[in-house]
Amino acid sequence: MRTLLIFALLPLSVHGQLEWRSEEPSPVAFAKAGQNVLTAFSNSTNTEVDVELSTRIFLLSSATAVPLGEARPWKRLKVLPGQTILEKLTVDFPDVKVPTRFRIQCIKGTSDKIGQLDVTAYPDNLLKSLQTLADGKPVGILDPGHLLIPLLKQQKVEFEELKGSEDLDHFKGRLAVLGPFGSADQIPAGLESTAVGCAKSGRAIVWIEPASRKLSLAPSARVSVFSAGTVVAAQAGTVSSPSDSPTAQLNLVRLCEMAIDPARFQWPAPPIP
């Protein structure tokens, strides 16, 4: 089973003149062959740095870090004085069935540590929970860019493909995801009013609208609660590149949770019975 990784950003790692850091605030990746993690090396001195780099992976527990094999050669790196360069680190991780923490060490040669990244790995079945949210019924999917359907097939999530407003109107399931829409031209005629009608009849609708070109302070998701159902609207960037982005898949699940049970996401939250 492939796994999903969430990399925790550690403080800047320094080795002599060479600084190593993650280039993203909270980088994520799937654990499969050839996964790339974007990092940066900075040389803040007036001397060129020329090193041979290796990496090593450790399995973390509450008290120990167990090495998973020996250090593996990565690359030879030259960093000019005052220069910062971006480097993609290719990582392979073992399969996990529960969230599991790992550590990646960047090493000069085979033993002189430059820095490290801590990693939390998750099983790669994130969208499987959509089946439970839909009460075991097929999830309705209107996917003009064919971004979600391959993932649902891969993760064995039962779904019903919707082509337009008429299909949505006849959809009998509990949960429907409309989009992501790359542009307004991809939205079928009458779909918005049909979505509202479905929500009024008790369905949960997630609408992934085209990205807005206007700068806005609008929230990442907007919730419209009707008498029996809900429409949750979010920008396409919220679930951008779902096949490559764990964040996108997690965001989609959260949007569906909001549509199914919006009261859970109210502030202040209602008391738990």
How would you write 159-224 as a 3-class SS string?
Answer: EEECCCHHHHHHCCCCEEEECCCCCHHHCCCCHHHHHHHHHHCCCEEEEEECCCCCCCCCCCEEEE
Distances (CA, A) of 146 to 151, 154, 172, 182, 241: 9, 13, 22, 11, 11
Under 8 Å between Cβ of 50 and 22:
no
Helix, strand or coil, per DSSP, at residue 252: helix
Q: Residues 136-165: pLDDT tens digits?
A: 999 999 999 999 999 999 999 999 999 999
Picking from 36-45, 89-98, 213-222, which range would have the lowest pLDDT averaged per residue?
A: 213-222
Token pair recorded at residue 249: 């898949």
Q: Residues 226-241: pLDDT tens digits?
A: 988 999 999 988 999 9
Work out the pLDDT band at 115, boundaries 50, 70, 90: confident
